[in-house]
Amino acid sequence: MLILVIAEAELERIPAAIVSHPVIYRYAKQKGKPATKLLLNSSIHHAAMATLPEGRRQGRPDITHLILLTALESILNKQDRLRVYIHTRNDEVITVNPQTRIMRNEERFAGLLEQLFDKGAVPNPTKPLLSLQPQTLPALIQELNSDHVFVCDQLGTPSRLPEYFTSLHHQNKQKITAIVGGFPSGPLKTDISKMVNDTISIYPETLAAWTVVSELLVNYENTTPPASP
Ligand SMILES: C[S@@+](CC[C@H](N)C(=O)[O-])C[C@H]1O[C@@H](n2cnc3c(N)ncnc32)[C@H](O)[C@@H]1O
């Protein structure tokens, strides 16, 4: 089983600090909802976000959207050998049911997340496809209690994924957690160095998070046979 953790994903509702900015005011009026119930999106709200201390990094639902499309439609997920968790910048964790079909349209995806932030589970609390609860990244890693945890970082130890996963397979590691940042720039802010077995770089340059995810899924699937029943 491969567990994919997207860390510090830039997913949040519009912060109260910018609700009175004209761009946000107009947007909320057009949507007919209070601004604080709407998802922050840098491609729409960039003018208002300039005043946020980390505004250049925030409001990137597109990153999570592309990762979820890549992961949930992967062969590994079809084989029921993948679990996905999204940890957000405000220390919430979204648990993703492997049977979730994510809409391709980004605006509809944003609407789904707004419902999730509002209700804590979608489409309904009894059999949710996505559910959200407060949790820090270290607490999530601890709760997952994997046989092996690694974080992907372009400054990590240069590693080739086919050899890396083959070696874990030979060591009989059954439950592997891979952590990938869900943000557009800069390093992971939480220090998880004591909680991971390895920090690996899969290419000498920075890659998009969804590219790293697709490399992980394909290489794991190609090197690691399903566990025998
Ligand atoms: C777009 S990157 C984050 C920004 C990047 N740290 C920077 O300073 O430009 C998103 C995530 O992809 C992963 N990543 C990007 N390039 C990588 C590489 N060459 N090797 C391993 N992981 C990488 C890391 O997990 C990173 O947090």
Query: Same domain, yes or no, for 67 and 156?
Result: yes
pLDDT band of residue 97 (cuts 50, 70, 90) is very high
Q: For residue range 108-135, what is the model confidence (pLDDT) as tens digits?
A: 999 999 999 999 999 988 889 999 999 9
Residue 60 and residue 35 in contact, taking contact as beta carbons nearer than 8 Å: no
Query: Same domain, yes or no, for 92 and 139?
Result: yes
Query: Same domain, yes or no, for 26 and 63?
Result: no
* Single pTM value for the model: 0.97
Q: How far is the CA of 152 from the centre of ligand 1 (A)?
A: 7
Residue 151 and residue 196 in contact, taking contact as beta carbons nearer than 8 Å: yes
Query: Same domain, yes or no, for 160 and 208?
Result: yes
Helix 106-119 to helix 61-72 angle (10° resolution) is: 100
Mutate to test the pocket of ligand 1, among 56, 137, 153 (most ligand atoms within 8 A of CB): 153
Query: Same domain, yes or no, for 26 and 111?
Result: no
CA-to-CA separations, 91 to 10, 94, 97, 143, 227, in angstroms, rounded = 11, 10, 19, 15, 33
For atom 12 of ligand 1, which residue has the closest CA? 209
Q: For residue range 168-215, what is the model confidence (pLDDT) as tens digits?
A: 999 999 999 999 999 999 999 999 999 999 999 999 999 999 999 999
Query: Same domain, yes or no, for 229 and 141?
Result: yes
State percent of the chain over pLDDT 90.
Answer: 96
Give residue 38's domain range: 16-49
CATH number of residue 205's parent domain: 3.40.1280.10
For atom 26 of ligand 1, which residue has the closest CA? 181
Q: How far is the CA of 208 from the centre of ligand 1 (A)?
A: 7
